[in-house]
Each structure stands twice: as structure tokens, then as C-alpha cells.
């Protein structure tokens, strides 16, 4: 008598009481169960940006494809950062000894970014997860709590021992005084764009990165110290270049977004107006009228705009006072050679500021 064929065994399930879903990855570990379990909670948590789109079946397949064994990650330090400037600085210190992934893509704003499922996987498998803090990328802490992988989690503000500013709160500002105050991403908080001051980077950020990365990867500590010293010397030379570029008599500028407090303070530049106190929030008619009056009174000729933010309001405003717009970039773009490295990014911005401020001095709308 022929025996009935055996039914195939179902795929093994995790021995995790919080996760009853099937993992398709061969040789999976407890890490996978933990990520799946936390992903379940993320799916039902509307307060975590981007996680609402994580469908269970798609996320399981994504984990199966993207989560390799630990040996695939062992050759280099795996680092995930929220924004491109952090990657530029880390790569200067680590060289080829780290693989760095940036969550916020070129042209996107870190203020409104929502992580994708693939971002959760990268964070779960990283050795280091570094965000800025200071209200710039608050979503990153919720993202890390959702995944809670093996990564060392740190902020740039925490690394250099600065208090992190609260999230932007429009009600905490007196918005009738755009021309008097720079946007500080919070009530009394510090501008989080710390990297736009190369001396602050050389004196505080690079030494902090060297110490932190050496703790995470002690076998490469001497390498990190050597490259950190070399980069600090490069930054001293870069500072001299920028001072020469910005040595003209014109010192005033109008910014669409208040990201330039550290850059302006380092090179004695004065922000006389800012269009948006908080990214994504349209200025009131009264604020726009005040800005136009200030621009006309000071004979300004340009508004500095950024590729991460919609320039239409700036275009309209500059037309009101007979000016134009000039592109600056606080984050950089690895696809553009003019902004692909940290020194080149700051040179790009210094040239843009010089051009815009010259237009201010001339009071016309043509280069």
C-alpha cells in the first residue's frame, strides 16, 4: 500500500511570545525576532513617522532579503546617520574603515523626513547610529526605540556636550521680529547646524568623533586619531580660504531658513531677515510685509534659498523688492561635485554668500 506523501513542514517560527510571524531568513537569530516584534508595535503606533506604511508581509520579506549574517558586516564599521553632513565628517575620520549610510536623501528636509522600512533594517544592523539632535531630527530617537538594534545610539549635541534644544514651537517665538532674530529651532535653543562652522568642527566635533569611534572600534583608534588630526589641519586651512572669500565690505544677508547662525557668527555676517522661522510653516502676511519693507530699506538684492525647501515664497518675496534668489546648501549632495565633500560644501556656500551680499550692496537683481 502506497503511503500518502508527507506534508512539508511549515517554516520555523521564532520562540518569541511577542512575534507570531514567520521569518524566511535561513539561520536567523534573536535579532530578527526583536526587530519583528518592535515592528509590530510600530505598525500600530501613529506617532512614529513613516512606520504607518510598514505592512507585515512586506516587512518580513524585506528582512529576509536585507538582513545578512553578521559576517557580512564584520569587515568595516557599519554607521547609519540621519543627514549627509554627519556622513561627510565621519568619512573624513574613518576613511575606508567605515561604511556610512545616510537616511535623509539629497534634496529632502530632515524636518519632514519619514523613514522607509529599509531604513529600519539598516538601523537594526548598524554598529553606530548618529543623529544631530537639537530639534533637527527628533524622529530619529523614536525610530531607534522602535528598532532598538545593536547600534550605539548618539547625537551630535550629546557627543560635544551641548544641551539639545526642544522641537520648534512657533508659539514660543515673537514672530513679529523676523529681522531681529535668527531661527533657533526652539525657544532659546541653539541652531542645530553646528557643522557649518569649520572651527567648531575642528575644535569640538572632530575630537569628539575620534573619541567616540575609538570606543566603538578600539582596534582602529590610532587610525582615527591620525585621520582626525589631518582633517583638523585641513579645516584650519579651509577657514583661511573662507575668510578670504568673505572679506568684502557687504556683511548682510536674507535667508529663507534660519540655518546659518554658526556660519554667520564665525565670519561676522549679519542676518537681517529670515522667511521661515520654522521649516514648513508659512510666514504670516504681516511677517512678509515686514520682510519686504526691511529689504527695501536696506537695499537688499537677494534671498538665500535651499534645495531642501520650496523656493516659491522666496521667489515671490524677492520680486517684491526687486531682488533674486541665490542657492545655498546646509546639507550637501554627494551627486554634485561642487557640494560632495565637507570642504567643497563650505566653499560652495561661502561663494554663494559673497555673491548674494554683493547683490545686497549693489541693490539690483542681476549678477
Q: Are residues 107 and 256 in the same domain?
A: no
Q: Are residues 26 and 130 in the same domain?
A: no
Domain's final residue, options 52, 69, 86: 69
CATH label of the domain that carries residue 103: 3.40.50.1980
Q: How far apart are CA 344 and CA 6, in angstroms?
A: 65
pLDDT at 158 > cutoff 60: yes
The residue to which cell 516659491 is assigned: 312
Higher-confidence position of 247 and 29: 247
pLDDT score of 67: 52
pLDDT at 204 > cutoff 80: yes
The mean pLDDT of 45-71, rounded to a whole number, is 44
In Å, how far are 22, 64, 201, 238, 354 from 243, measured between CA atoms? 59, 52, 16, 9, 11
The overall pTM is greater than 0.85? no
Q: What is the pLDDT of residues 136-145, one digit of tens each?
A: 999 999 999 9
Residue 42, domain extent: 12-69
Q: Are residues 357 and 272 in the same domain?
A: yes
Q: What angle do CA 34, 216, 71 make, to 5 degrees?
A: 55
Q: Are residues 218 and 352 in the same domain?
A: no
In a domain, 271, yes or no: yes
pLDDT at 181 > cutoff 50: no
The mean pLDDT of 268-290, rounded to a whole number, is 84
Q: What is the pLDDT of residues 216-253, one digit of tens each?
A: 999 999 999 999 999 999 999 999 999 999 999 889 89
Amino acid at each position: 500500500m502506497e503511503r500518502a506523501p508527507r506534508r512539508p513542514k511549515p517554516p520555523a517560527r521564532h520562540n518569541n511570545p511577542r512575534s507570531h510571524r514567520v521569518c524566511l531568513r535561513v539561520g536567523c537569530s534573536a535579532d530578527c525576532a526583536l526587530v519583528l516584534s518592535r515592528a509590530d508595535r510600530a505598525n500600530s503606533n501613529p506617532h512614529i513617522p513613516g512606520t504607518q506604511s510598514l505592512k507585515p508581509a512586506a516587512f518580513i520579506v524585506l528582512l529576509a532579503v536585507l538582513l545578512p549574517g553578521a559576517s557580512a558586516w564584520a569587515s568595516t564599521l557599519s554607521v547609519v546617520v540621519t543627514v549627509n553632513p554627519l556622513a561627510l565628517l565621519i568619512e573624513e575620520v574613518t576613511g575606508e574603515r567605515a561604511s556610512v549610510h545616510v537616511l535623509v536623501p539629497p534634496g529632502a528636509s530632515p524636518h519632514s523626513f519619514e523613514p522607509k522600512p529599509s531604513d529600519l533594517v539598516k538601523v537594526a544592523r548598524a554598529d553606530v547610529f548618529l543623529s544631530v539632535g537639537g530639534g533637527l531630527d527628533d524622529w530619529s530617537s523614536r525610530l531607534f526605540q522602535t528598532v532598538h538594534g545593536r547600534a550605539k545610539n548618539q547625537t551630535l549635541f550629546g557627543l560635544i556636550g551641548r544641551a539639545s534644544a526642544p522641537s520648534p514651537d512657533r508659539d514660543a517665538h515673537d514672530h513679529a521680529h523676523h529681522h531681529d532674530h535668527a531661527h533657533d529651532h526652539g525657544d532659546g535653543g541653539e541652531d542645530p547646524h553646528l557643522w557649518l562652522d569649520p572651527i567648531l568642527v575642528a575644535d569640538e566635533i572632530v575630537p569628539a568623533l575620534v573619541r567616540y569611534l575609538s570606543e566603538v572600534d578600539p582596534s582602529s583608534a590610532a587610525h582615527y586619531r591620525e585621520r582626525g588630526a589631518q582633517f583638523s589641519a585641513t579645516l584650519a586651512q579651509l577657514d583661511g580660504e573662507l575668510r578670504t572669500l568673505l572679506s568684502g565690505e557687504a556683511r548682510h544677508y536674507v535667508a529663507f531658513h534660519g540655518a546659518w547662525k554658526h556660519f554667520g557668527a564665525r565670519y561676522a555676517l549679519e542676518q537681517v531677515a529670515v522667511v521661515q522661522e520654522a521649516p514648513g510653516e508659512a510666514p504670516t502676511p504681516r511677517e512678509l510685509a515686514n520682510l519686504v519693507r526691511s529689504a527695501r530699506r536696506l537695499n537688499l538684492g537677494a534671498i538665500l534659498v535651499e534645495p531642501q525647501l520650496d523656493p516659491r515664497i522666496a521667489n515671490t518675496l524677492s520680486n517684491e523688492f526687486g531682488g533674486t534668489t541665490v542657492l545655498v546648501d546646509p546639507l550637501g549632495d554627494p551627486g554634485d561635485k561642487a557640494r560632495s565633500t565637507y570642504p567643497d560644501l563650505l566653499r560652495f556656500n561661502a561663494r554663494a554668500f559673497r555673491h548674494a551680499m554683493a547683490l545686497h550692496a549693489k541693490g539690483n537683481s542681476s549678477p
